[in-house]
Amino acid sequence: MAFVQFSQVSLSFGDRDILKNVSVNLASGSKAALTGANGTGKSTLIKVMAGLVQPDEGQRIAQKDSRIAYLPQSGLTHHGCSLREEADKAFVFGYELTEELEKIGDQLKEGSGNQTALLERHDKIINELEDSGWNRRSVLAEQILIGLGFKREDLDRNCEEFSGGWQMRIALAKALMVNPDILLLDEPTNYLDIEARQWLETFLNNFKGGFLLVSHDRYFLDHTINEVYELFNGDLHRYPGNFSHYEKVREVELETLIHEYEKQQDEINHLQEFIDRFRYKATKAIQVQERIKMLDKILENEIVIPESLKKIHFKFPAAPHSGRLVATLTGITKSYDGQRKVIDNLDLLLENGDRLVVAGHNGAGKSTLLRILAGVDPNFEGEVKLGAGVSIGYFSQDNAETLKGSATILETIEADAPLELIPKVRDMLGAFLFRGDDVFKSLDVLSGGEKSRVALLKLLLRPVNLLILDEPTNHLDMHSKDVLLNALKDFGGTVIFVSHDRGFIEDLSTRVLELKPGQFRTFPGDYKYYMQRLTDDRERPQSGKNSRGEFLESLPKSYARRANGLVGNAELKSDGNAVVSTGSTTATSKTTTASASKLSWEEKKKQDAEKRKAEKLVKQLEEKIAALEAEKQAEENKMADPEVYSNGEKAKAVQNKITELSEQLENLNMEWMEAAEALEQFS
């Protein structure tokens, strides 16, 4: 079994301990996350594991011939060849092995060397090449690149044509193509949209080797890992279970830590007060010296609370009042080249209190739509009509470019903060990753990510009632995203946003607008409902559906049976809302009733028997559905049990059962609808 092992590893930068006697073992099958506040040394630890940084003390041991793939956060570029050719470089180990294979073949023909040892090595290389997917490398490379969002026509493009984010996708693809024994990924989701993250999630779940990853996407971590390592003050602690379980356990630990911290702070303050009061009194000199020694001893072991686990909460300034209709978009059409329409004839109604997420693949027009709504892009066809009293706050990554000058971060934020929030400015800056002396940095020296965080916080301090947010969670860690999410939930206005963070979207959105090139659909439900609809669409037969059946299937399953009796024939408008058709249903019903009155006695008897049979089938199906729903609910309740969600195997088994029951319910609901429609013929 391949492995990478640390034993009592220590590393310091100057007088700062990054790692203190750290021990950890990664082997095939390990599914681990590395967490800790920004600046604690997570990236450094991964570099040490990859063998790129040598520790001051301790040992790093890797099994011989183990393939270890490492992906840094950023900074990788590729040039001088096509994407297809660059991808093939990931298989350099295979070319080296085949070259060795040819040399062994020559030696065997010549009869030179230890023939038995050569044959054993020959067989080992053959097996290694087979296990690595060497013979399928071109197909494997194409599958991984497309899974990460590239198109087939991209494969022959020069690597120089791709932007920085896509350059990192190329690097990630190459790391996965190696089919390594150990995979070390530092923020692999930073440059991925939701579809690519879902693909990577599936890849890691099926990955046979071991991996350690850093990510600020809680949803992604919960669905890929079964153990968490926290790096704090140079120490590394292991927590079994998924990331949400780690947070719950750590929160309990933190309560005890805070209690001890407060006691220690009281003691420090008491000693410091005595020292300050009597420092210059000769009669108290001995007592002062004793207390200075006591204080120094305490400060050597001062308790520090992790920034990532501090709870910070703030509210937006009150949103100005606006009418029920916030914005009406009619016939919005946008093309950049005069030929391909990114957005085509889009209609959208935005109501007060909506939390609308715009979903779709890269290039579907999400950012374009937000720019149009914000008034930043006036070059489009159609009309945007804002409601009475609407005031807009717009955030995009471009906002960072407007922040220039010698003013400090603290001065910039205090200048925009309402008077009542001034006392909380330092806490808010801490929540957005500006801690300690960071707040005194001038705007001119900030990185792009730092400027982006300042721009976002400036926007959130303005009194507006329509927030338009394009990727607001970029450059934020998990704690910062939680602070932002809670503030947006409390926000009294309307939000329309784009994000690639699945957990953030699920917690915030109340409606979904799906964009595809030249197409759109809206879904009057949260993101989980939207994802269920996509699953239903993939599994649903594409023929034989009438408008009524389509509308029923657009509803959550729990509403389907009730809707069957209440809706009648319905059509779906392009915005996803149902409108009830009139006329045809009544006419058909009257015709059926008139025909039934003319039936012979024998026909009537036969029809009654068929009706009873249909009624019995409907009742049986309803009983089965109720029983399965109860069984599914029981399984879902198990997921709240710590013994289940903290155990990766148990959690996976329960989730598989839930999926199985959901599929059975899907089939039964389809049967029930067919039976119910057959029964209606006798009405």
How much of the chain, in percent, has pLDDT values that exceed 70? 86
Token representation of residue 587: 């006419």
Residue-wise pLDDT for 300-334, tens only, equals: 887 776 655 555 666 778 888 888 899 999 999 99
- CA 382, distance to chain mean position in Å, is 34
Per the prediction, the chain carries an average pLDDT of 81
- Angle (CA) 651-37-18 rounded to 5° is 110
Residue-wise pLDDT for 443-499, tens only, equals: 888 877 788 888 888 888 888 999 999 999 888 888 888 888 988 998 889 999 999
**Cβ neighbours of residue 18 under 8 Å, at least 6 residues apart?**
11, 12, 41, 44, 45, 234
Residue type, position 244, single letter:
S
Residue type, position 285, single letter:
A
Residue-wise pLDDT for 123-163, tens only, equals: 888 887 877 778 788 888 999 999 999 999 999 999 998 88
Q: Let me know: does 452 contact 475? Beta carbons within 8 Å.
A: yes
Res. 549: pLDDT tops 70 = no
Report, at the CATH architecture level, how domain 609-683 is classified: Orthogonal Bundle (1.10)
CATH topology agreement for domains 1-78+163-241 and 609-683: no
Q: What is the pLDDT of residue 588?
A: 39
Assign domain 1-78+163-241 one CATH number from 3.10.450.50, 3.40.50.720, 1.10.260.40, 3.40.50.300: 3.40.50.300
Given pLDDT bands bounded at 50, 70 and 90, which one contains residue 558?
very low
The Cα–Cα gap between 581 and 553 comes to: 17
Contacts 24+ apart (CB under 8 A), 620-627: 621/668, 621/671, 621/672, 621/675, 622/561, 622/672, 624/668, 625/561, 625/665, 625/668, 625/669, 625/672
Residue-wise pLDDT for 195-230, tens only, equals: 899 999 999 999 989 999 999 899 999 999 999 999
Q: Let me know: does 209 contact 182? Beta carbons within 8 Å.
A: yes
Assign domain 325-523 one CATH number from 1.10.275.10, 3.30.300.130, 3.30.930.10, 3.40.50.300: 3.40.50.300
CA separation (Å) from 543 to 111, 309, 311, 547, 667?
67, 52, 53, 12, 16
Res. 516: pLDDT tops 90 = no
Q: What is the pLDDT of residue 206?
A: 92
Res. 583: pLDDT tops 70 = no
Domain ranges in the chain are: 1-78+163-241, 81-161, 247-309, 325-523, 609-683
CA separation (Å) from 412 to 417, 422, 432, 559, 618?
9, 12, 14, 51, 66
Given pLDDT bands bounded at 50, 70 and 90, which one contains residue 642?
low
The Cα–Cα gap between 399 and 395 comes to: 6
Res. 561: pLDDT tops 60 = no
Given pLDDT bands bounded at 50, 70 and 90, which one contains residue 545?
very low
3-state secondary structure of 493: coil
Residue-wise pLDDT for 55-113, tens only, equals: 898 888 877 777 889 999 888 889 899 999 999 998 888 888 888 888 888 888 888 87
Res. 540: pLDDT tops 50 = yes
